Amino acid sequence: MVEKKNLELLQFDKIRNLVKQRCYSSRARTMCEDIFPGPEKSQVITELNRVNELKSVLSAKGFLPSIEHDDIQAELNYLSIEGALLHESQLLSLLKTVEVCNSNVKFFKGKKNVMPFLFHLVESLEVFDFVADEIHRIIDAEGQVKDSASSDLGRIRRQISEKRRESDKRFYNYINDLRKHGFLRENEESFFNGRRTLAVLVEHKGDVPGFVHGKSESGKTIFIEPGLTIGINNDVAELEIDERREVNRILRELCVTIKPYVGGIKEAFRFLTELDFLTAKASFAVALKANLPEIKDGFDLDIKEARHPLLYLQNVISGKKTVPLSLALNAKQRIIVISGPNAGGKTIALKTVGLLQMMLQSGLLIPVKEGSVYGFFEKILIDIGDTQSIENELSTYSAKLKSMTQILDDVNEATLVLMDEFGSGTDPELGGAIAEAVLESIVNSKTKGIVTSHFGNVKLLAEKLEGAVNASMLFDIDTLDPKYILSVGEPGSSYTFEVAERIGFPKHLIERAKEKVDKDKLKLNRLLAEVQNQKTKLEEQMQRAEHEEFLKKIAKEKYHTLFNTWEEKINKERERKIELSRLADFGQKYLRLMDDWNKKKDRKEVIKRFIDGITAETRKQEDLKKQKKQDVYAEKKIARIKPNLKVGSKVRILNGKEVGIIEEIKDEKVFIKFGLMKMTVGMENLVLAD
């Protein structure tokens, strides 16, 4: 579908390497070597959705279980063999990886609704808590078999510990005796073959009985295992042999216990490797601010604000802005012919479209704006750069012709064609004619594609051909700097003389060259430049106007928010003052009652006044509640009837029969004429007579 040379032209290997750098395991890095536009669209779409689910979590800095693990494939393969014995370090690696598998399988099994594509990966996988528990029961965190693994092992290790303590005691007591006599060198002890020895001066070797293990290079020191510790050291060595046998027995039993689960663990380990690979893709997508575009059947493209991934990452490091690219390829606009000055961004636009298409069809999210639409092409045909071949003795033009021939043989509506400077490399007039013929052929083939050209006749042909459209890379005619912005709809000037002037080419030669150019062609070139310049300025004005409109909208929303907040505070403050006034009134009445209670002998009257006050206040609160309900009802009634009231409307007063005609409406009051009589009525008290 995509030739290797085309992948190299678009630097696809660099994309692979950037993903590979984000993998944790060597197996996942190996999977990166196979990142390639896949033939199975459904499989690629599934993988894209899995990457997108992981990217969403990473972008939001959400929780994902760790995927750090050891490569246990060799251990699992060995465990499958009858009678296999894994040592402590191997079992510790197996334990760590099984625990990572367990935590990830559990996590994604609980995410069926929010991560359905990743859930499908773990749906049939098991959780091996039993295997982890069994290894934990035998192996400690340091990778050693626990004393509690068996009663015999615990007994043997206690005996070894006792024997070693006794050996140490004898050894150091003996050192103290020998030190007094001056028989030892400064570095008194060392080890040979696991046996502790004394560094004895050679002239005193006869004074220290024991087993000689070695001699220094100078010959002045002899290393002797003291005779009084040889026996106990032999006992320790024998016990260590028993310990190793018991440890091997325990480990063999453990391997037999976990062997039935090896097949399932292999499946979980494969999932963990794939998850590592998918997470690397998702991490790369986060770095690119990449998205999953809408993928439709067919071969239409609607690319919104695409960025070349390698250029974007490079610009992020240098603090530069990457100008996005937007274009569409569809039935009416199948081939886009891009023209404009050299170094204006034509080739990078071509490479951006091609590289992003390859990335998407390889299961990688791409740096485009959400809402972009993509299709999957069966073939991506590319002709970019100088294809001169020394080995095949082909000139640049011959090589381009050969490349164009191959492309023309393969084009159909399921292909994407990207051709840079096609028709160049030979006589401009003849090359332009070839370019016209090629353009007609690829347009008629119904393929989608982008070509770049400086030929004026190609630009003119693109205007006439149904299915082709001109486009140009914008150029600032005032500063003579490229804008790297693609404008679809009209051809662009090559700015040949302007660019020459910009780089300091002699002015008199530029003027001489202008004299040699056909006047109409020169006039057309200037006209194209002027049209481009005017369009650029118009677009900038429109952008400024849109930006100002946006700022106005924001300011208006901010004003309404602040006003509503202020109004709410005012209302709350008003209610608070009313409540304080009511409480103050209660307080004064209470104090007067207290005075009367203390002064008057007839307290029944005071009690009566208190009860009357409570009753009056209760009635007042009930009246306020009723009034509030009435006010709310009135507001709702007004809101409902107000839009239907106008001068000339026929209305009746609530519960009345007489029909009147509205003469005037002022705020929420209505002036009505009933025959010779006129009345002013609140809207809440009206009913439409109709």
CA distance 250 to 91: 12
Q: Counting Cβ atoms within 10 Å, is residue 286 exposed (0-12), middle (13-18) or buried (19+)?
A: middle
Higher pLDDT, 43 or 626: 43
pLDDT digits over 334-343, tens only? Answer: 999 888 766 6
Q: Is the pLDDT of residue 57 over 90?
A: yes
Of 234-238, 521-525, 647-651, the range with the lowest mean pLDDT is 521-525
pLDDT band of residue 527 (cuts 50, 70, 90) is low
Q: Residues with Cβ < 8 Å from 550, sequence gap 6 or more? A: none
Higher pLDDT, 209 or 245: 245
CA distance 43 to 193: 60
**φ, ψ (nearest 5 deg) of residue 666:** -135, 115
Q: Is the pLDDT of residue 387 over 50?
A: no
Mean pLDDT, range 595-612, rounded to an integer: 71
Higher pLDDT, 333 or 423: 333
CA distance 77 to 265: 11
Q: Judge whether 363 and 495 are in contact, CB under 8 Å.
A: no
Mean pLDDT, range 68-74, rounded to an integer: 93
Higher pLDDT, 606 or 268: 268
Q: Is the pLDDT of residue 680 over 60?
A: yes
How is 426-482 classified by DSSP, letter by letter?
S-HHHHHHHHHHHHHHHHHTT-EEEEE---HHHHHHHHHSTEEEEEEEEEETTTTEE
- What is the distance of C-alpha 532 from the center of its chain? 38
pLDDT digits over 122-162, tens only? Answer: 999 999 999 999 999 999 999 999 999 999 999 999 998 99
CA distance 201 to 205: 7
Please count the other Cβ atoms lying within 10 Å of the Cβ belonging to residue 601. 5
CA distance 384 to 347: 8
Q: Is the pLDDT of residue 401 over 60?
A: yes
Residues 494, 315, 308: CA angle, nearest 5 degrees: 60
pLDDT band of residue 515 (cuts 50, 70, 90) is low
For position 159, what pLDDT does the model report? 93
Mean pLDDT, range 453-480, rounded to an integer: 78
For position 553, what pLDDT does the model report? 83
pLDDT band of residue 511 (cuts 50, 70, 90) is low
The mean predicted confidence, pLDDT, of the chain is: 82
For position 390, what pLDDT does the model report? 36
